Structure 1
Amino acid sequence: MKLPALLFFAATLVSLAEEKRPNFLFIITDDQRWDAIAAVQTEQGGKARFPWLHTPALDKLKSQSASFRNAFCTTSLCSPSRATFLTGQFTHTHGVTNNHTPFPSNSTTYATVLKEHGYRTGYVGKWHMGNQDERPGYDFSASFRGQGKFFQCPVVVRKDGERKEIIADKWIDEASTDFAIDFLRQNKERPFLLTVGFKSVHGPREPHPDHQSSYTGESAKPVPNLDALSPFRPAAEQGPRRFNAGNPKLLDYFRTLTSADRALGRLLDEVDTLGLEKNTVVIFTSDNGYYLGEHGLGDKRSAYEESLRLPLLVRSPFHDPKRSTTTPIVLNLDLAPTIVDLAGITPPAAFQGRSLKPLLEGNTPDNWRKDFLYEYFYERNFRNPPIVAVRTESEKLVTYPGRESWNQLFEVRDDPYELTNQIANPEKAELRQRLEKRLDELKRETAFKIPGSADPDRFGNEKPARKARR
């Protein structure tokens, strides 16, 4: 065989090998509760808080995906969780402890690994780590600094070494979807990784104009833990934070979510139109959970279930269709090793999470985790104290360093609303000791430390924080 023919044959083999490598579409919403999917509300039946929710795109994706019903974040806060997605590391390892620390540009991420192995990488939408402009590890980005805006949002576009800044002329998640669709069309013939960060449903919430009056007249159903107040906020402060069942601001949460659902539908339809659906892994999740009045709270940060739990759907050619619901504990730090593993690459040792590939294939390893470490580091202007906790399959121990009288012990399997703190119950002393020991073990196993970006004066001190700015 002559040299030109050999070169052509070799190039053909490379092309065929690349065709077999899966593409990745990783979609992250902001502050979306695990149960803020209409199909999940339907599954909950009489326990559903908002059965009127309408999310057709998410419902369709869920019907095609592995649904992870015990997915959690290890720090319930936007920037730390987003850094965890990228690095597969705990917050105390990657060091992004708050919403104003930039992401370390020299970090090993799922994007840097795939880029090194020939993937075209793109990032669209919300990044939200300080006011950082670059998107390390991505060949292309169309993204905004900080929180951005729902309307007239400045977007920085970076491609092939060039940078320009434009003003989005439409609702920001629709504009991000346009950029994402362009990326898919331009890269459909080669292996790609595209991460899409929707601004929705983070406040202040401004739904798409088409949904500004959706759900008018609807109200959220009450749940038992609306009056089960948290120890770190006096009752006098928590009362006004109770979400009125028909409060327009609460309804705007769902109006904004439904607006984003329509954008998601456009994006997934484009995957199908381009014929990419059979070889594209679609991952959908949120950066953290969110309170809608439970425990008298809004926002997230603390360690109750509404804050920790995430929606997580994975549509994949590796997914066993017989196993639509997956129940083992999975974490936000598992997604980086999962993406790398599904690409056929050995995950870096720096990743602290575990690949979900065996779970997708219908197998749960005997040594799969039974618990995990949760951590939150004080952030200025918020009253939430530092937290270190362990959550098992059936219990949870929450500790407040320096405020031990606030510590909590819940049997979450039997007490899902976390109504009864068993920390001082002598009948639960053995359970408490076991969880305290396990928490110490997890801290050692994960090399727990107070990162340099955290405020050490706020970790375990007695000084009150300044009033939160909402």
Structure 2
Amino acid sequence: MKITIYSRYENHLKKYVLVIIIACFIVSCSAQKNKIINTQQKPNIIFIMSDDHAYHAISAYDKSLIQTPYIDQIAKEGALFKKAYVTNSLCGPSRAVILTGKYSHINGFRDNQDTFDGSQQTLPKILKSNGYTTGIVGKWHLKTDPQGFDYWNILHGQGDYYKPGFSKLGKDTLYKGYVTDITTDLALNWINANKEKPFFLMIHQKAPHRNQMPPLDNLNLFNDRTFEMPSTFYDDYKNRLALQQNKTSMINDLDIDQDNKVPCDTCGNNKTDKFNPNAYKREIKRLSPEEKAIWDKAYQKVYAQYASIKNKDELIRWQFQRYMQDYLRTVKSVDDNVGRVLKYLKNNNLEENTIIIYTSDQGVFLGEHGLYDKRFMYEESFRTPMMIRYPKGIKKGQELDEMVMNLDIAPTLLSYAGITPPNDMQGMSMKKILSDKSSSTTWRDKIYYHYYEDAYGITPHYGIRTDRYKLIHFYGKLNTWELYDLQSDPQEMKNIYDDKTYANLLENLKKDLKDLQLRYKDTSN
């Protein structure tokens, strides 16, 4: 009987079962499809940071020094921050702030003598715990091994321009070639192997950090240029005691070999690098014989120029030109390699769902106030380039005037990844001002800075910057204050701290400064 019934309805049953199987298959596929979609909705994140890249050496900010079309492309296709600042203008501390979203006194890395505590909460750890594959290549400069990364391949210490040594997950490797190209090669190889699921990659370039050794292809670039010296180059430092004690002067402290690439057997009585003797000789030895031949041919005319210099003023001007040539040659290489990353993303259909940030660990002086290096709270050092592109989530062509900081990078990236930033992060998510201009009314109107290191004649200091004014307190070996009206004196040449006209303003600024120190829990000074 059962067989008879089965036989009678066999065709209908087969059809019914087939419908169920097809329906289940569709549901399964749909669920799988939704799973993929949900995974892909998490944006990939590429964070590119160079070392000592002045914002005014990027043509998106200033076209007078160099054209940087690929870095500019990030800004044009996304957003350019016109007032981006750092909490502490020094390499290691800036990196620690970006990783943690916390000021130096909280994350424990105040200056380059400190050691980063990798056990603490960091941006890569949070992303990794939320489904991201994480990696970092290039300059690390925090002494301890990276934590929170599935992959790391980092330069030894400060890093070398030629034949650089890397540590890959603790294993040391020497790579032939030029460091900016190698760092990008490692980055693209890693992305290629990890592009099937959301990834977070930090690409940290060594360039254009001193001693600015350019790639071989760029050795003759800018030979036909004469760069205009900044109007503040011969600053006399009147009424600014901290500047009077600095040892990062282009007039007095540039090195003939390290900075100008003149071998010291031709230096006569001129000094070598007083902070790092024989550094240039060690760097030159890293060149292969073939590289050395190309290098010597290009710089032979530099030796001849140096030999013909007749007086101190001529030497100062010549050294400035040489410094700028090599600095911008390395910047050109950074920009070219940013172009390689952008091209890869486009060719692999990754650009729409990838956030890409370009920034520097801080600003740097290019002759302003007669200085090289960074550290000071003056604008050229305090301010940093920053731009972000995310076609799916950020309207292109934006130029933002809000004061943002490297402190804000971690909470911003977490927000775009759909992760609520931890409450103990001290930065603010820039997503609110990137997506809703009305949010600018609730954005910060003052920022706090604190530099701790006592080196190169630059004493520790902290301060506050508002849209118009800047107040700085130098302490330690000094106890001196500086106040600037950035509207009437944007180059910060006139310290008006003792001007009684500003007494009420000064009182209010000191109160605001104290409030910021309390807000950020920096109460040691």
Shorter-chain TM range is 0.7 to 0.9
Q: Is residue 136–residue 152 contact of structure 2 (8 Å, CA) maintained in 1?
A: yes
Aligned partner of 1:231 among 233, 236, 241: 241
Bigger mean CA offset, 4-13 vs 300-309? 4-13
Give the CA deviation at 1:402. Answer: 4.8
Q: Distance in 1 between matches of 2:208 and 2:193?
A: 29
User: Which deviations, in whole Å up to 9, do the C-alpha atoms of 1:126-170 show, x marking residues without a partner?
Assistant: 11113x3x2111101111121110111111122xxxx53221111
Paired position in structure 2 for 1:370 = 445
DSSP-derived class of the 2:317 partner = coil
Quickly say closer, same or farther: Cα 1:394–1:255, change in 2 above 3 A. same
Q: Distance in 1 between matches of 2:404 and 2:179?
A: 30
1:156 corresponds to 2:167: yes
Give the CA deviation at 1:222. Answer: 2.8
Give the CA deviation at 1:201. Answer: 0.5
Q: Is residue 246–residue 456 contact of structure 2 (8 Å, CA) maintained in 1?
A: no
Paired position in structure 2 for 1:464 = none
Partner amino acid for 1:388? Y
Give the CA deviation at 1:191. Answer: 0.6
Give the CA deviation at 1:449. Answer: 4.3
Partner amino acid for 2:461? I
How does 1:158-177 map onto structure 2 within 5 Å?
158=169, 163-177=170-184
Q: Distance in 1 between matches of 2:219 and 2:514?
A: 48
Q: Is residue 84–residue 385 contact of structure 2 (8 Å, CA) maintained in 1?
A: yes
Paired position in structure 2 for 1:453 = none
1:336 corresponds to 2:347: no
Q: Distance in 1 between matches of 2:75 and 2:389?
A: 8
1:32 corresponds to 2:53: yes
Q: Distance in 2 between matches of 1:33 and 1:307?
A: 8
DSSP-derived class of the 2:442 partner = coil
Q: Is residue 241–residue 293 contact of structure 1 (8 Å, CA) maintained in 2?
A: no
Q: Distance in 1 between matches of 2:86 and 2:244?
A: 26
Structure 2 gap ranges (5+): 1-19, 255-315
Paired position in structure 1 for 2:85 = 72
Q: Is residue 459–residue 478 contact of structure 2 (8 Å, CA) maintained in 1?
A: no
Q: Distance in 2 between matches of 1:155 and 1:369?
A: 40
Paired position in structure 2 for 1:432 = 506
DSSP-derived class of the 1:41 partner = coil
Q: Distance in 2 between matches of 1:84 and 1:405?
A: 27
Give the CA deviation at 1:403. Answer: 6.3
1:385 corresponds to 2:385: no
DSSP-derived class of the 1:366 partner = helix
Higher normalized helix content (fraction of residues): 2
Q: Distance in 1 between matches of 2:445 and 2:478?
A: 25
How does 1:384-423 map onto structure 2 within 5 Å?
384-402=458-476, 406-423=480-497
Partner amino acid for 1:253? Y
Paired position in structure 2 for 1:462 = none
What is the count of residue pairs matched by the alignment?
435
Aligned partner of 2:187 among 167, 170, 180: 180
Paired position in structure 2 for 1:147 = 158
Q: TM-score, normalised by structure 2?
A: 0.79
Q: Distance in 2 between matches of 1:236 and 1:268?
A: 40
Q: Is residue 76–residue 301 contact of structure 1 (8 Å, CA) maintained in 2?
A: yes
Partner amino acid for 1:436? K
Q: Is residue 319–residue 362 contact of structure 1 (8 Å, CA) maintained in 2?
A: no
Paired position in structure 1 for 2:288 = none
Q: Distance in 2 between matches of 1:345 and 1:39?
A: 31
Give the CA deviation at 1:433. Answer: 0.9
DSSP-derived class of the 1:226 partner = coil
Q: Distance in 2 between matches of 1:119 and 1:184?
A: 12
Structure 1 gap ranges (5+): 43-47, 451-458, 460-470
Q: TM-score, normalised by structure 1?
A: 0.88
1:58 corresponds to 2:71: yes
Q: Is residue 245–residue 457 contact of structure 2 (8 Å, CA) maintained in 1?
A: no
Bigger mean CA offset, 93-102 vs 384-393? 93-102
Quickly say closer, same or farther: Cα 1:17–1:444, change in 2 above 3 A. same
DSSP-derived class of the 1:156 partner = strand
